[in-house]
Amino acid sequence: MTTTETRRTARRPGLGAPAGLLVPAAAGLLFLVLPLAGLLIRAPWTTMPERLTDPEVLAALRLSLLCATLATVLCLAFGVPLAWLLARVEFPGRRLVRALITVPLVLPPVVGGIALLLVFGRRGLVGEWMDRTFGFSLPFTTTGVVIAEAFVAMPFLIIAVEGALRGADRRYEEAAATLGAGRWTTFTHVTLPLVAPGIAAGAVLGWARALGEFGATITFAGNYPGVTQTMPLAVYQTMEGGDLDGAVVLSLVLLIVSVAILAGLRDRWITAP
């Protein structure tokens, strides 16, 4: 067999794959897909337009979109500089800092909400000072929703941006410095354009994570319709009220948004060439 034929054979998907791998792979696919298919099969399609136009549902959707967007802006403002610091600067304890940044990825969201309460609550480490000085409290407010969502979403953005920075060709930055560009000019005119796809991917993934946040939000901000009740919380309340069809409809909205985001990212930023 020639080299060309060997390459063509290697590119044929599934050729020569052992049954010992195909069977569990198919089972794993079914395990992940069947629950999603269950949502589509059990969805009350005939009453869906009426349910989606319910004022409480629209209020929860608007609040979810607003808070997820504001949380993403907050993540960008603090996450991009932090990712640059981790990728470009050698300093003592950098591994520890990176580990601490990734903690929210594995921390139960409810625990994250309790931690936020201990810091930003009215008797918290920072919240007590804020309440005493400015008469302002974060818990159980719309701003508290944004804070909770940013807390769980920021690691996604930082990891994506740090990976993009590490993979970027630093010769362009060195050339800009040689030509007399300052550090800030190099960062804004060279570095940011180089890693823009990574920033965009991290921002979109962070936005999707913020949109689906539940545990930290309900613990730190509560579940008040029109104020802190986002779509995941509305799903929970509808389910608790015994309205399974209503919970399915709300879940479908979140599912459609998630699939649309991942489909948009699929070929551009998160798959290997």
Lowest mean pLDDT among 3-12, 57-66, 180-189, 190-199: 3-12
**Per-residue confidence (pLDDT) for residue 272, from 0 to 100:** 42
pLDDT of 225-242, one tens digit each? Answer: 889 999 999 999 988 888
pTM, rounded to two decimals:
0.83
**Per-residue confidence (pLDDT) for residue 190, from 0 to 100:** 85
pLDDT category at 4 given cuts 50, 70, 90 is low
pLDDT of 196-210, one tens digit each? Answer: 988 998 999 899 899
Terminal alpha carbon distance of the chain: 26
